[in-house]
Chain A
Amino acid sequence: MSAFGWPELDTLFLHFVSLSLMSIGGAITTVPEMHRFLVVEQVWLSEGQFSNAVALAQAAPGPNVLFVAVLAWTVAMNAAGGTAGGLAAWTLAGASVLASMLGILFPSATLTFFASRWGQRNRERLAVRAFKLGMAPIVVALLVGTGWILAGSHGTWTTHPGAYALTAASGLLVWQGRVHLLWILGAGALAGVMGWV
């Protein structure tokens, strides 16, 4: 471990580069590896800061991958003495966000871009059509399975039945599509504050 600062930006960048191509199924699948690196190995973040960063980015608008930006921002702010650290802290935090987002996104985005172009050019080929047809039921079920796994991120359905019930209810509401997502999310926040999940 070493204290975080400008020289450690490339360590951070390379860490996220190394995870980018492994993040099949989304950046969220590499969370355990990020936790090992940032909290256990480098001790740049506390346990609470790590799980709060992931929870915040999930609830906030935008792709869930933005939790990487929140992690990187918090790492830099920890090292630079928080927002009270002035311009130096803000620039380090900004650079840290850029380095980590570029690291996690650039390799996978480049690969996806060229792979999907190839697929689009060859879309009439039977093999390409078979890939899309064959994968369709699997990726759709994968979403339902991911929802199930995320529902259990704080415990099993026997210890946290409320969380599973809330996940199931909001899943059904989204499926029916009649209630606006914000209402469902607001109800979830309320259930959390009431201590039901």
Chain B
Amino acid sequence: MSSASAQRPASIGALFWAFSWLALQGFGGVLAVVQRELVEKRHWLTLEEFVEDWAVAQIMPGANVVNLSLIVGDRYFGWKGALAALAGMLTLPLVVVLALTVALSGMPEQGLIQDALRGMGAVSAGLIAGTGLKLMAALRTNAMGKLVCSLLSVLTFIAIALLRLPLIWVLLGLGLPAMGWAYLCLVSQHKGGGA
């Protein structure tokens, strides 16, 4: 088990500003920035820890990155940390997006702004997919083995992107067998490891 990473936020205030800063950089979505800031730059989480927290954040209902901020904040400073990280994630970006809304409110409903937004939308789709590709690196150490992990990933992609099955079916149909298999792997690892 990769235990606690090398570094942690110095204070609740530092946590708030860290999440504010990364949220404000998150043009087109925050996920790509969260991963880079928390794992690669600040070293608060290892890539494996990040994927574990992300699994919880994504499977629970609600905005994924908002859930992630709660989980990470709670880990370091309890409920106060969770609130601070949540407030950081939302407050300043909310002000910015409402200011943009007011600034653009007189604009026609079709035009250059909408064209630009459509192009940025295609990029932000790519940001999400690219972050997924990056996180695949964390699967190398997964106890289920590379083959099973690859198979599960491919089946999930087909079910969600190509067949457009509802997420809940995918989570039940692929997630439950995956958890069962992971359980068996952990048990045999436990026995094999002895002592």
Q: Check B178–A166 contact: CB distance below 8 A.
A: no
* Cβ-defined partner of A197 (8 Å) among B56, B59, B119: B119
A141 in contact with B156 (CB, 8 Å): yes
- Assembled-state Cα–Cα distance A55/B116 (Å): 10
Give chain B's interface residues, CB within 8 Å of chain A: 23-33, 36, 51-67, 70-71, 74-75, 79, 82, 86, 89-90, 92-94, 96-98, 100-102, 104-105, 109-110, 112, 114-136, 138-139, 142-144, 148-150, 152-154, 156-157, 159-161, 164, 167-168, 170-171, 174-175, 178-183, 185-187, 190
Contact present for A145 and B160 (CB under 8 Å): yes
A132 at the binding interface (Cβ < 8 Å): yes
4 further contact pairs, Cβ within 8 A, besides A105-B66, A197-B118: A101-B90, A109-B70, A130-B183, A172-B126
Q: Which residues of A contact B57 (CB under 8 A)?
A: 112, 116
Q: B132 touches which one: A20, A108, A112, A142 (CB < 8 A)? A: A142
Among candidates B128, B175, B183, residue contacting A147 with C-beta atoms closer than 8 Å: B128
Is B120 touching A192 in the complex (CB atoms < 8 A)?
Answer: yes
**Cβ-defined contact, A60 with B27, below 8 A:** yes
Number of interface residues of A (CB under 8 A): 103
9 contacts between A and B (CB under 8 A): A112-B57, A116-B56, A130-B183, A136-B51, A138-B171, A166-B122, A172-B126, A175-B133, A184-B126
With A and B bound together, what is the CA distance between A20 and B63 in angstroms? 9
Q: Do A138 and B118 contact each other (CB < 8 Å), given the known contacts A62-B23, A83-B102, A170-B127? A: no
The reply to whether B128 and A150 form a contact with Cβ atoms under 8 Å apart is: yes
Nearest Cβ distance between residue B131 and chain A, in whole angstroms?
Answer: 6
Q: Known contacts A63-B63, A184-B123; decide if A112 and B71 are in contact (CB<8 Å).
A: yes
In the bound assembly, the distance between CA atoms of A180 and B44 in angstroms comes to 21
Instruction: Decide: B109 and A150 in contact? CB cutoff 8 A.
Output: no
Contact string, A167-197, partner B, CB cutoff 8 A, digits 1/0? 1111111110100011011011111110111
Please state if A62 and B97 are interface contacts (CB–CB under 8 Å): yes
Q: Which of A7-15, A36-44, A119-127 makes up part of the contact surface?
A: A119-127
